[in-house]
């Protein structure tokens, strides 16, 4: 049993075939959630699932569950999966790898004629990327009750098309009530989407947790005035004050290594004219940490700094928290299963905390969950140049196979 291996070439070939649907000129993929291309991708994966002997269930938010029966079908399934929607300039591996690695596990079990006690399921979740429709991780979010089906259905893209309409149009508005679907354990394989594994020259990332995050919208209001006649001491320059806060975002993150993160990624300056003192600056703040207490400390320090800056400058500064996800530690049993499988297979490994969100955050609210990371080139993802080595993808899939077998038990 322990020398069982998946077929790396078959996994690679499937990834490349799926990547042709929505392929971009620069070698990436554009397959936005609930578009015609998403339908084609879904249809292909479902066809592969059926060819591998799996039955298929679709729930009301379009999550798809492909099932291989066990010898004891009263047991909840050991599930794996991810998503097949992509960013507008996405890559071939983000999400797709997690789904097709699951399919490859089933194909391997079929080849070797191995039955498991618990059923095995391969899922793909609707609109993980959140690019066309907000919120992100929509399918798994509805599944675990983070928000309602009605909220999800009502979300609209920039053309005004709703999730409810688009799901029906592409034929993936299923019958099953989201969440009305037991999960015994959930594993998700994913490219790391960061540079840590590659930098340390390790093959498998064991993922103990996903970072929590706080998102804010900050607005600094000053006074627009002519850049020449207004002396330096008599200005209310919103941008100069905003940049102090932006520096502080990074300083706060630096005070809480190794998992403190602070980013200002979006800035709007008004009126954005070279000879006008900026009257208003709007910008985003993204704070992260794997420890909720530290994340909260970072939050408090941010607010205190803004309060102080308000006093020091007399400018109007508003800050609003627009999103908060607590850190998500994965279940020790699942983390252990991944660790053991990696050791058994002899791959080099290290722990990698995920800085990005994944569907597994939501499944973790319902069932023991865990993740397996493999390196991606230069740590780059959400980009058409996203790349990963076939041997690493194969290794991650082997770990998935053995971790799932430990939970589902070969009959
Ligand atoms: Zn992803």
Using the CB atoms, write b or e for 258-272: b if 16+ within 10 Å: ebbbbbbeeeebbee
Does 280 count as an annotated binding residue? Answer: no
Q: How far is the CA of 6 from the centre of ligand 1 (A)?
A: 22
Torsions phi, psi of 399, nearest 5? -65, -45
Does 83 count as an annotated binding residue? Answer: yes
Share of the chain above pLDDT 90, in %: 98
**pLDDT tens digits, one per residue of 20-57:** 999 999 999 999 999 999 999 999 999 999 999 999 99
Q: Where are the domains of the chain?
A: 8-210+327-408, 212-325
* Torsion angle defined by CA atoms of residues 255, 261, 262 and 266, in that order, rounded to the nearest 10 degrees: 170
Determine whether domain 8-210+327-408 maps to CATH 3.40.630.10.
yes
Q: How far is the CA of 31 from the centre of ligand 1 (A)?
A: 13
Q: How far is the CA of 308 from the centre of ligand 1 (A)?
A: 39
Backbone dihedral region for residue 179 (phi beyond 0: left; psi -120 to 50: alpha; all else: beta): left
The closest of 363, 377, 309 to 137, measured between CA atoms, is 363
Say what the pLDDT of residue 80 is: 98
Say what the pLDDT of residue 39 is: 98
Q: How far is the CA of 241 from the centre of ligand 1 (A)?
A: 36
- Would you give the distance in Å from CA 237 to the centre of its chain? 38
Check if 8-210+327-408 and 212-325 are the same fold.
no
Does 331 count as an annotated binding residue? Answer: no
The answer for residues whose C-beta is within 8 angstroms of residue 308's C-beta and 6 or more apart is none
Are 60 and 139 in contact by the 8 Å Cβ rule? The answer is no
Element counts in the chain: helices (H) and strands (E): 12, 17
Are 342 and 210 in contact by the 8 Å Cβ rule? The answer is no
Over residues 229-236, mean pLDDT: 96
Q: How far is the CA of 213 from the centre of ligand 1 (A)?
A: 17
**pLDDT tens digits, one per residue of 239-256:** 999 999 999 999 999 999
The pTM assigned to this predicted structure is 0.92
Does 320 count as an annotated binding residue? Answer: no
**pLDDT tens digits, one per residue of 346-388:** 999 999 999 999 999 999 999 999 999 999 999 999 999 999 9
**pLDDT tens digits, one per residue of 148-194:** 999 999 999 999 999 999 999 999 999 999 999 999 999 999 999 99
Q: How far is the CA of 356 from the centre of ligand 1 (A)?
A: 8
- Residue 410 confidence (pLDDT) above 90: no
Q: How far is the CA of 381 from the centre of ligand 1 (A)?
A: 9
**pLDDT tens digits, one per residue of 295-312:** 999 999 999 999 999 999
- Residue 144 confidence (pLDDT) above 80: yes
Q: How far is the CA of 97 from the centre of ligand 1 (A)?
A: 9
Q: How confident is the model at residue 143 (pLDDT cuts 50, 70, 90)?
A: very high
CA pair distance 198, 21, nearest whole angstrom: 28
Over residues 185-211, mean pLDDT: 97
Q: How confident is the model at residue 2 (pLDDT cuts 50, 70, 90)?
A: confident
Indicate the CATH number of 212-325 among 3.40.50.800, 3.30.420.10, 3.40.50.720, 3.30.70.360: 3.30.70.360
Longest dimension (CA), the chain: 83
Say what the pLDDT of residue 235 is: 96
Does 181 count as an annotated binding residue? Answer: no
- Residue 314 burial (C-beta neighbours within 10 Å; 0-12, 13-18, 19+): exposed
């Amino acid at each position: 049993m322990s020398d069982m291996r998946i077929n790396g070439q078959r996994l690679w070939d499937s990834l490349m075939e799926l990547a042709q649907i929505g392929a971009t000129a620069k070698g990436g993929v554009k397959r936005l959630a609930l578009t015609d291309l998403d339908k084609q991708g879904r249809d292909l994966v479902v066809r592969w699932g059926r060819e591998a002997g799996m039955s298929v269930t679709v729930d009301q938010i379009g999550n798809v569950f492909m099932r291989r029966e066990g010898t004891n079908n009263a047991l909840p399934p050991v599930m794996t999966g991810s998503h097949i929607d992509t960013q507008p300039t996405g890559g071939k591996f983000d999400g797709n790898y997690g789904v097709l690695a699951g399919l490859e596990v089933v194909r391997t079990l079929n080849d070797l004629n191995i039955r498991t006690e618990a059923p095995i399921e391969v899922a793909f979740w609707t609109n993980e990327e959140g690019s066309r429709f907000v919120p992100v991780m929509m399918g798994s979010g509805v599944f675990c009750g983070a928000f309602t089906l009605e909220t999800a259905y009502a979300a609209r893209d920039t053309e005004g098309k709703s999730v409810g309409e688009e799901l029906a149009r592409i034929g993936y508005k299923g019958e099953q009530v989201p969440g009305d679907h037991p999960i015994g354990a959930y594993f998700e394989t994913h490219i790391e989407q960061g540079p840590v594994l590659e930098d340390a020259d390790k093959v498998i990332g064991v993922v103990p947790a996903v970072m929590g995050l706080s998102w804010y919208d900050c607005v600094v209001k000053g006074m627009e005035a002519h850049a020449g006649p207004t002396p330096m001491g008599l200005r209310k320059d919103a941008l100069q004050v905003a940049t102090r806060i932006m520096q502080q975002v990074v300083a706060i993150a630096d005070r809480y290594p190794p998992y403190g993160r602070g980013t200002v990624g979006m800035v709007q300056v008004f009126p954005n004219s070279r000879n006008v003192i900026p009257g208003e600056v709007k910008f985003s703040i993204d704070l992260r940490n794997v420890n909720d207490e530290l994340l909260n400390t970072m939050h408090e320090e941010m607010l205190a700094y803004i309060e102080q800056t308000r006093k020091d400058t007399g400018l109007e500064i508003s800050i609003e928290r627009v999103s908060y996800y607590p850190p998500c530690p994965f279940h020790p049993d699942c983390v252990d299963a991944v660790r053991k499988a990696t050791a058994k297979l002899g791959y080099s490994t290290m722990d990698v905390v995920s800085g990005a969100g994944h569907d597994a955050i939501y499944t973790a609210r319902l069932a023991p969950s865990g993740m397996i990371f493999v390196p991606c080139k230069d740590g780059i993802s959400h980009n058409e140049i996203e790349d990963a080595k076939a041997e690493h993808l194969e290794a991650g899939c082997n770990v998935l196979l053995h971790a799932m077998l430990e939970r589902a038990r070969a009959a």
